[in-house]
Amino acid sequence: MIIDGKKIAEGLREKLKKKIIEFKSNLKIAPGLSVILVGEDPASQIYVKNKIKYSKEIGIDSEVIRYPENIKEKIVLDKIIELNKNKKVSGILVQLPLPQHINKQKVIETILPEKDVDGFHPINVGNLSSGNESKIPCTPLGCLILLKEVEKNLSGKHVVIIGRSNLNGKPMAQLLLRENCTVTITHSKTKDLKSECNKADIIITAVGKPKLVKGDWVKKNAIVIDVGINKTNNGIVGDVDFDEVAKIAKAVTPVPGGVGPMTIACLLSNTVECFKRANS
Ligand code: GUN
């Protein structure tokens, strides 16, 4: 089975669109999303363009605030403080990576936790890991929704996560613990990645290594979620050798058309959640 992230994301966006129509008729206001983009990173340009396009499509008032690569950190921080105070702005996202001279952590911590649609603020990170209500990072949330399309009850499943980033690996582990999974987080220093993967009921990979996960790494009937987006001479490929793995796995996500569209749909969902909380 190929997990159709594009279609599942479309369904989620459709639901959100209906909710926003309701909000607009009841409250006379719409959710707002402000995205800050610093510099010219080509991948970031595409991601932000899509975030804005899809948010507008479902009725979110979205804007991009662009700064050149050499912008002073203080200007970015002051803009975030202004957006924090603006009632029309439900969610704030600063696209990563940022240039070296800007302190990423300072930027993240300046965003009000209530408007932190990425779920990167330490208050949200802490709440997620203590099992409290929190904003949930968009990519792991998207992966969880895809997993649940295949397997409603994840309790007791052994999940092997490849990659320990703050964006995906670590929050993914927290979300899966909440679902009563047994979670192994692997990374670049893991001794025998293949043998770890061979034990997994579910593999989730986000390391940016083209076709790292081979067919013989995967247990029969495992579920494989591929977060990787790698540019190669043969086009965009994931971290999974799709053709090999699709023959063995019970379900696998394609790249493109798997996790990518879900990340954006979950950003929209987080924005609507922030709006709802601010207006309830
Ligand atoms: N860069 C790559 N992925 C992400 C993401 O989910 N959020 C932000 N802010 N930047 C990113």
Average pLDDT, the chain: 98
Kindly state if the Cβ of 138 falls inside 6 Å of ligand 1.
yes
Delimit the CATH 3.40.50.720 region(s) of the chain.
Answer: 138-260
pLDDT digits (tens, 9 = 90+) for 56-89: 999 999 999 999 999 999 999 999 999 999 999 9
Tell me the DSSP string of the chain: -B--HHHHHHHHHHHHHHHHHHHHHHHS---EEEEEEES--HHHHHHHHHHHHHHHHTT-EEEEEEE-TT--HHHHHHHHHHHHH-TT--EEEE-SPPPTTS-HHHHHHHS-GGGBTT--SHHHHHHHHTT-S----HHHHHHHHHHHHH-S--TT-EEEEE---TTTHHHHHHHHHHTT-EEEEE-TT-S-HHHHHHT-SEEEE-S--TT-B-GGGS-TT-EEEE---EEETTEEE-SB-HHHHHTT-SEE--SSSSHHHHHHHHHHHHHHHHHHHHT-
pLDDT digits (tens, 9 = 90+) for 13-43: 999 999 999 999 999 999 999 999 999 999 9
User: Ligand 1 in contact with 95 (CB < 6 A)?
Assistant: yes
Backbone angles phi, psi at 234, to 5 degrees: -100, 25
In 10 A of CB 88, how many CB atoms?
A: 12
173-200 burial, b for 16+ CB within 10 Å, e for fewer?
bbbbeebebebbbbeeebeebeebbeeb
Q: At what angle do helices 169-178 and 122-129 cross, to 10 degrees?
A: 40
pLDDT of residue 101: 98
Distance 168 CA to ligand 1 centre (A): 10
Question: Which residue in this structure is represented by tokens 């083209």?
Answer: 210
Selection from 88, 120, 82 nearest residue 279 by Cα: 88
Residue nearest to atom 11 of ligand 1 (CA): 96
Could you tell me if the CB of 167 is within 6 A of ligand 1?
A: yes
Catalytic residue (choose from 79, 95, 157, 211)? 95
Given the residues 79, 115, 116, 118, select the one marked as catalytic: 118
Residue nearest ligand 1's atom 8 by CA: 95
Q: What are residue 119's phi and psi, to 5 degrees? A: 70, 30
End-to-end CA distance of the chain: 41
Q: Does domain 138-260 have CATH number 2.60.120.10?
A: no
Q: Could you read off the pLDDT of 184-218 as tens digits, one per residue?
A: 999 999 999 999 999 999 999 999 999 999 999 99
pLDDT in tens, 222-263: 999 999 999 999 999 999 999 999 999 999 999 999 999 999
For residue 98, report the phi and psi dihedrals to the nearest 5 degrees.
-105, 155
95 among known catalytic residues: yes
Tens digit of each residue's pLDDT (9 = 90 or more) over 41-59:
999 999 999 999 999 999 9
Q: What is the average per-residue pLDDT within 93-109?
A: 98
The residue behind tokens 């995967």 is: 218
What number does the ligand 1 atom closest to the CA of 44 have? 1
Q: What is the pTM of this model?
A: 0.97
CA-CA distances (angstroms) from residue 195 to 159, 160, 245?
13, 11, 16
As given in the structure block, the two tokens for residue 190 are 């893991």
Look at residue 243 in the predicted model and tell me its pLDDT. 97
Every domain of the chain with CATH number 3.40.50.10860 lies at 27-112
Query: In b/e form, how buried is each residue of 41-65, taking b as 16+ CB within 10 angstroms?
Result: beebeebbeebbebbeebbbbbebb
Q: How far is the CA of 34 from the centre of ligand 1 (A)?
A: 14
Q: Which residues pair with 236 in a beta bridge?
A: 231
| φ, ψ at 35 (rounded to 5°) | -115, 125
User: Is 110 close to ligand 1, i.e. is its CB under 6 Å away?
Assistant: no
Verify whether residue 118 is a known catalytic residue: yes
CATH of domain 27-112: 3.40.50.10860
Mutate to test the pocket of ligand 1, among 96, 172, 229 (most ligand atoms within 8 A of CB): 96
Structure tokens at 39: 């510099």
